[in-house]
């Protein structure tokens, strides 16, 4: 966003300099800039909208399984490192298998939607599709943030990766690796859509993450 804003400012500055040299240029430059600036603003808003939908889809995954398991879903305000946020909560009485499913559900939604986006738009990088790019960016970045927190074993107790690790009885960094792998592979697929090994490896890791529910007791 910062790069785009600086680019727009640079174009505006060039237009103003040309305006001082020629009256004709001063009349033409603003007319040419307005559509470009409007188009960039529209694309940015669509990108942000796609990211927002991705966030909503992630949280809805938790809620769906909370309802399925009758786990009394709720919303809890949390603060970590001075940053206020919220978490979708559920009863602590759920089984380990249910806990793993609920905690994993957000990532399952991310993986499914990323797969849909990259399969239906394999050359997304070359398309003018800011909404889908924003959605995919959310999926990848969110997984990256969760992974870093899991590797460092920091974050609130309500963290998805912590719930997954606890229910499986494994160290949280292992879950971080499980979440980081599809994000890295999907980023590679976005940049190199012809890469078959990345496509099938990503899918295999995502399916493995779902099948781990069997390991939770």
Per-residue pLDDT of 186-197, as tens digits, reads: 999 999 999 999
Return the percentage of the chain with pLDDT > 90, whole number. Answer: 65
pLDDT tens across 36-79, in order? Answer: 677 889 999 999 999 999 999 999 999 999 999 988 777 766 65
Distance set, CA 158 to CA 126, 139, 179, 187 (Å): 38, 19, 17, 27
Instruction: HSE, CB side, 13 Å, CA atoms: give it for residue 149.
Output: 20
- State the average pLDDT for the chain: 83
Distance CA 196, CA 177 (A): 21
pLDDT tens across 130-187, in order? Answer: 999 999 999 999 999 999 999 999 877 778 999 999 999 999 999 999 999 999 999 9
Q: Please give the average per-residue pLDDT across 3-7, as a whole number.
A: 32
Structure tokens at 206: 């995502």
Which residues are CB-neighbours of 62 under 8 A, at least 6 positions away?
Answer: 73, 88, 90, 102, 103, 105, 106, 160
pLDDT at 156: 77
Neighbours of 89 (CB within 10 A): 16
Beta strands in the chain (DSSP E): 74-80, 83-89
Distance CA 105, CA 111 (A): 10
Neighbours of 152 (CB within 10 A): 11
Distance CA 41, CA 46 (A): 9
**Can you state the percent helix, strand and coil of the chain, rounding each to 5?**
75, 5, 15
């Amino acid at each position: 966003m910062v790069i785009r804003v600086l680019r727009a400012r640079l174009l505006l500055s060039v237009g103003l300099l040309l305006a001082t040299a020629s009256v004709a240029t001063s009349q033409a430059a603003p007319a040419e800039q307005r559509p470009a600036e409007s188009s960039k603003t529209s694309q940015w808003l669509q990108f942000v909208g796609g990211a927002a939908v991705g966030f909503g889809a992630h949280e809805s995954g938790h809620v769906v399984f909370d309802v399925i398991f009758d786990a009394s879903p709720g919303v809890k305000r949390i603060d970590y490192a001075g940053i206020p946020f919220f978490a979708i909560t559920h009863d602590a009485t759920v089984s380990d298998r249910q806990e793993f499913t609920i905690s994993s559900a957000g990532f399952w939604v991310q993986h499914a939607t990323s797969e849909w986006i990259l399969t239906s738009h394999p050359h997304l990088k070359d398309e003018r599709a800011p909404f889908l790019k924003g959605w995919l960016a959310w999926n990848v970045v969110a997984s990256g943030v969760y992974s870093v927190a899991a590797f460092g074993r920091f974050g609130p107790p309500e963290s998805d990766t912590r719930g997954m690790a606890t229910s499986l009885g494994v160290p949280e960094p292992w879950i971080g690796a499980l979440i980081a792998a599809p994000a890295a592979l999907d980023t590679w697929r976005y940049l190199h859509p012809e890469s078959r090994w990345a496509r099938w490896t990503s899918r295999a890791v995502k399916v493995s993450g779902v099948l781990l529910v069997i390991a939770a007791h």
